[in-house]
Amino acid sequence: MGERIRASFLGVGFVGIMSTLYLGLMWAPSVAIDAFESPAAQKIFYWHVPSAWASFIAFTVLFIGSGLWFFKRSPTGWRLHVAGAEAGLATGLMTVWSGTVWASAEWGTPWDWTDVRLNTFALLTLLALFLVLGRRSQPDGVETRDTFATFGLFGFVLVPFTYIATRFWVIRHPGPVVAAGNDGSLQSDMALVLFIGAISFTIFIIGHILTSMHITKLEQRVEMLQSEIDKGG
Amino acid sequence: MSDVLLAFESVEIRRGMGIVVSDFSFQVSSGEVVVLHGENGCGKSTIIETAARILPIEKGQISQHGELVIDSEGRRKLSTVPFGLTLQQNGLVGSDTIAEHLNNMMSICKTKINLAPILKQYSLDHRSNDLIAHLSGGQQRKVSVIAGLLPAMISKSPRLILLDEPDSGLDESAIQMLSQHITSLRLAGHAFLIATHDERILKCATRINNLSHDTEQKPPSGDVWQLPEVEAAKPNNWLMTGFSYNLKTKAGFANNGIAGFLTLGILLSMVEPFELNNLLGLKMGFVLLPAFVAGLCGDPVVNLLRENRALDWWQANTATPRAIIIPIITGFVLTTISSYIFLEELQLIVVVAGSLTTLICSLLIGFLQLSTNKLSRPQAVFIRLLTPILILPWSIVVNELIAYI
C-alpha cells in the first residue's frame, strides 16, 4: 500500500514535470522581445521557479526533521532530516543548474557573486550537499545525527533570508512575479503553466521524500539485524 | 565529612545508536579512589569522558565540587576548580616539549612547582625539553599520566582526577609509581575516578564499580603526599597559548601563509600589474585575494590540536586556544605586498581590510571545524562546501574599497 502511494506520487509528479516542460517550450506564449535580453531562454522559467519552490519545501522538511531529532530524539525526525537533505540537494541543483543556463543567456554570465539571493540559495544547496556527503562518511550514531541536525536547524535561517532577498536586495536576480502585489504580473497562460509546474514539482518532491524515508527505514532495519548478528544472535 | 567532588545524578549517555549508560547515579568524594571495572564496551571510558564534559548526556546532570558542569538541556560550564584528566589517546600535542605541556597544565591550575623530582620518578627528567613527538609511546603515556595527576600534586585542597586506562602502555616501574602516587594523593584528600583492568591499580581502589553496583574495598596504606614548594603561575590564556603554538610550529605560515603567497604568485603569472590600470575592480580584487585565500585555509591551531585528541583535552580543561594574532599578521603582510605590487602605494584602510579578512575567514572556518569535531571522522566531512558564502561579503568589501584607489 505504501509502495503504491510512493510510486503514485513519483509517477504523477514526473508526468506533471514532463508536461510542464512540454507546455513551457511548445505552448506557453513567449515574452515580449524588449522585456528580456534572451526571450527564448526565458522558457527555463517554467522549470527554474517550480524547482526553487520545491527546494523550499525540501528545506522546510529538513528543518522540521532536524528539530524533531534534536529536541525529541525522534527516529521519524531523523528520516525526515535525511529525506529533506536529499530532496533539497536534488531540487537545489536543479534550480542552480537551470538558473545558470538562463543567466548565461540573459545576463551574459552564469553567476553573480554580489547577488544576495543567488549566493544564499547556493549556500542552501551546498549545505544539502554537505549533509548528504557527510552522512555517508560517518558511522550512524547520536553524535553524527546531533551534528548534522544542528546544521540543518541553523541552515534553515537562509530560507526566509533568500526569499526576502528578492524584495529588498534586488541586485541582478529579478524580483518576484508571483504574489508580488502590484509590482509583478504574469500573463494567464504563463501563470497556468507555472502553476502546473509548481503542483507537479510539489507532488514529485513529496514522493521523493516518502521514498527516501522508506529507504532510510530499511537501512536502519538492516543495521539493526547486522548488530544482532554481531552479538551472536 | 568528606566533600563530594563528582556527582552523577540519573545520567543517561548514548554512544552511536545505543544507550551505554542508563539512570546512572554515583558520587566520588575526597579521599576516595573509585575504579570503574568491567568488560570492554561497558561504558567505562564513556563515564570518564562525560565527567570531563567531553560527551553530552541524554538525561540527568553532572556536578563537580557541587557546581553543575553539564546537564541534559545542553548546559555546559567549565568547573571553577581545576581537575586532572588523562584520556586514552593522551591528549598531547607533538610540538610541545614535556615541560611545556606540564607547564600548560600548571598554568590552568594557576600554580607551579619544580617538576624535576616528579619527572625523575617516571624516568623522564633527562627528556623534559624533548618534543613529545620524539618520545616513545610509553614515554608519551607517562607524560599524559603526570599531566592528569598534576592538579592534585600541586594543590592543598581536594582535587578530582579522571584517569582513563592510565596503565595502558606503561612499564612495570611506571605502574608501581602510579599506584604509589594514587595512594599518597588519596591519603592527602584527593579523589580519583579511574577506568582500568590492571590488578595493581585495582588494589588502590576504595570502591570498585562495574556500572551496576559498588563494591567497597580496603585500600593499601602508604605515605601521605607531601606538597612540594608551590608558587603562583600566570593563568592560562587561550589567546597567548594559540599564538605560542602558532609561532612554535609555524603552522600559520604553513597552513595559511603559503596559500596566500601562492595566490599572489599565480596572479602575477597571469597578468602584469600595469595591465590593470583601468580595471579598478579587478585591481582591488587582486590586492585582497591573497589575504582572503589565506583566511580560507582555516585556523591552523585548531588543525594542530586535532592530533591525539588534544582538542578534547583543551576543551575539557579550559578555553580552546585559537589563532588570532598570526592571521592578522599574515593578512597584513600579504595585503601590504600585494598593495605595493598592484596599487604601487600603501593605503592603511586596504591593509586593515586585508588583515581583518584573513582573521575573520580563518575564525569562521575554525568555527566550522570545531562544530564537526564530535564526529567519528571529522576529517572526512566536507566542511569546506560551506565556505563559498564568504565570497559575497568579500566582493562587497572589494567594491567598497575601490573608492580608495
Q: Chain B: give the shortest CA distance to residue A153, in Å.
A: 14
Q: Is B175 among the domain residues?
A: yes
Q: Hey, are the CB atoms on A119 and B385 less than 8 Å from each other?
A: no
Q: By percentage, how much of chain B surpasses pLDDT 90?
A: 74
Q: Is residue B120 part of a domain?
A: no
Which tens digit of pLDDT belongs to each residue from B282-303? 999 999 999 999 999 999 999 8
Q: List the single range of A34-43, A83-92, A202-211, B376-385 with lowest mean pLDDT.
A: A34-43
Q: Is residue B70 part of a domain?
A: yes
Record: contact A141-B396, CB cut-off 8 A: no
Which among B76, B369, B375, B384 is the top mutation candidate for probing chain A, defined by the most A β-carbons within 10 Å of its own β-carbon? B375
* B56 part of a folded domain: yes
Which cell is B245 given? Answer: 603554538
**Cell numbers found for residue B138:** 610509553
Which among B58, B374, B391 is the nearest to A143, CB-wise?
B374
* Chain A: closest CA distance from residue B390 (Å): 9
Contact B375 A144 (CB under 8 A): yes
Residue B217 sits in the same domain as residue B292: no
Q: Given an 8 Å threshold on Cβ–Cβ distance, is B381 in contact with A130? A: yes
A27: confidence class by pLDDT, cuts 50, 70, 90: confident
Q: Which fold has domain A2-230?
A: Four Helix Bundle (Hemerythrin (Met), subunit A) (1.20.120)
In sequence order, which residues have a C-beta less than 8 Å from that of residue A34 and are 6 or more positions away? none
Does the beta-carbon distance from A137 to B381 stay under 8 Å? yes
ipTM over 0.90: no
Higher pLDDT, A108 or A78: A78
| Chain B, nearest residue to A158 by Cα | B389
Query: Of B227, B248, B275, which residue constitutes the final position of a domain?
Result: B227
In a shared domain, residues B192 and B78: yes
B366 and B282 share one domain:
yes
Domain membership of residue B309 (yes or no) is: yes
CA distance A64 to chain B (A): 19
Note whether B216 and B268 are same-domain residues.
no
Number of domains in chain B: 2
Distance between alpha carbon A114 and the CA centroid of its chain, in Å? 23
Please state the rounded mean pLDDT for residues A214-225. Answer: 91
pLDDT at A105: 85
For B61-115, the pLDDT digits (tens) are 999 999 999 998 878 888 899 999 999 999 999 999 999 999 999 999 999 999 9
Each as own residue / partner, the long-range contacts of residues A218-223 (CB below 8 Å, 24 or more positions apart, any chain) are A220/A75, A220/A140, A223/A140, A223/B17
Across the interface, whether the CB atoms of A142 and B14 are under 8 A apart is answered yes
For residue B279, give the amino acid letter. L
- Chain A residues with CB-CB distance to B58 below 8 A: 73
The amino acid at residue B328 is I
**Chain B residues near residue A141 by CB distance under 8 angstroms:** 14-17, 376
Q: Name which of A116, A123, A137 is nearest B380 (Cβ-Cβ).
A: A137
Of all residues in chain B, the one with the smallest CA distance to A72 is B58
Interchain proximity B376–A130, CB inside 8 Å: no
Q: What residue ranges in B81-185 does DSSP mark as E strands?
A: 84-86, 111-112, 160-164
Does the distance separating the beta carbons of B374 and A146 come in below 8 Å?
yes
* pLDDT in the model for residue B381: 84
**B383–A130 C-beta distance less than 8 A:** yes
End residue of a domain, out of B171, B202, B227: B227
pTM recorded for the entire structure = 0.83
- State CA A171 to chain mean position distance: 23
- The per-residue pLDDT for B349 is 93
A130, A142, A144 member nearest B382 (Cβ): A130
pLDDT in tens, B15-68: 887 888 899 998 999 999 999 998 888 889 999 999 999 999 999 999 999 999
Domain assignments of chain A as residue spans, ordered by start: 2-230
Q: Would you place residue B164 in the very low, low, confident or very high pLDDT band (cuts 50, 70, 90)?
A: very high
Quick one: B252 and B385 in the same domain? yes
Q: Would the pLDDT of B223 be above 90?
A: yes
Q: What percent of chain A has pLDDT over 70?
A: 88
Q: Which three cell numbers stand for residue B387?
A: 565556505
| Whether residues B329 and B202 fall in one domain | no
* Cβ contact B388–A114 (<8 Å): no
What residue in A sits closest to B15 (Cα-Cα)?
Answer: A142
Which residues fall within 8 angstroms of residue B180, CB to CB, at 6 or more apart?
A: B222
Q: Which domain range does residue B68 map to? A: 4-92+151-227
Give the nearest partner residue to B389 out of A123, A137, A151, using CB atoms: A123
> Distance between CA atoms of B394 and B405, rounded to whole angstroms?
17
Residue B360 has pLDDT above 90, yes or no: yes
Chain B CB contacts of A138 below 8 Å: 375-377, 380-381
CB-CB under 8 Å, B381 with A138? yes
**Same domain, yes or no: B162 and B266:** no
Task: Give the burial string for A183-205 (b: 16+ CB within 10 Å, else e).
Answer: eeeeeeebeebbebbbbbbbbbb
Residue B247 lies in a domain: yes
User: Which residues of B fall below an 8 Å CB-CB distance to A?
Assistant: 14-17, 56, 58, 371-372, 374-377, 380-383, 385-386, 388-389, 391-392, 395-396, 399
What is the average pLDDT value for chain B, to the nearest integer?
Answer: 92
Q: Do B163 and B62 lie in a common domain?
A: yes
Distance CA(B68)–CA(B77), nearest Å, equals 7
Same domain, B211 and B248: no
Q: Which residues contact B162 (CB under 8 A, 6 or more apart)?
A: B48, B51, B52, B83, B84, B85, B86, B148, B192, B193, B194
Last residue of a domain, one of B168, B196, B227: B227
Average pLDDT for B352-373: 93
Average pLDDT over residues B212-241: 92
A172, pLDDT greater than 80: no
Closest chain B C-alpha to A202 CA, distance in angstroms: 27
Residue B138, pLDDT score: 94
pLDDT given for residue B120 in this prediction: 95
Residues B317 and B199 in one domain: no
The distance of B333 to chain A (nearest Cα, Å) reads 26
C-alpha triplet A190, A191, A196: angle, nearest 5°: 100
Nearest-Cα residue of chain A relative to residue B377: A138
Whether residue B256 is found in the same domain as residue B366: yes
φ, ψ (nearest 5 deg) of residue B289 = -65, -45
Q: Report whether pLDDT(B358) > 60.
A: yes
Query: Rounded to 5, what percent of chain B is helix, strand, coil?
Result: 50, 15, 35
User: CA B81, CA B64: separation in Å to the nearest integer?
Assistant: 8
The owner of cell 544472535 is: A233
Same domain, B218 and B342: no
- In-domain check, residue B143: no
Residue B250 clears pLDDT 60, i.e. is over it: yes
Q: How confident is the model over A155-179, as a mean pLDDT?
A: 67
pLDDT at B275 over 90: no
CA distance B69 to B4: 14
pLDDT in the model for residue B16:
81
B316 dihedral zone (left: phi>0; alpha: psi -120 to 50; beta): alpha
> What mean pLDDT do residues B338-344 have?
92
At A112-148, the pLDDT tens digits run 877 788 888 888 999 999 999 988 888 888 889 999 9
Give me the mean pLDDT over the A170-189 stretch: 60
pLDDT at residue A169, as a whole number:
58
User: Are B385 and A120 a contacting pair at CB < 8 A?
Assistant: no
Domain assignment of residue B79, yes or no: yes
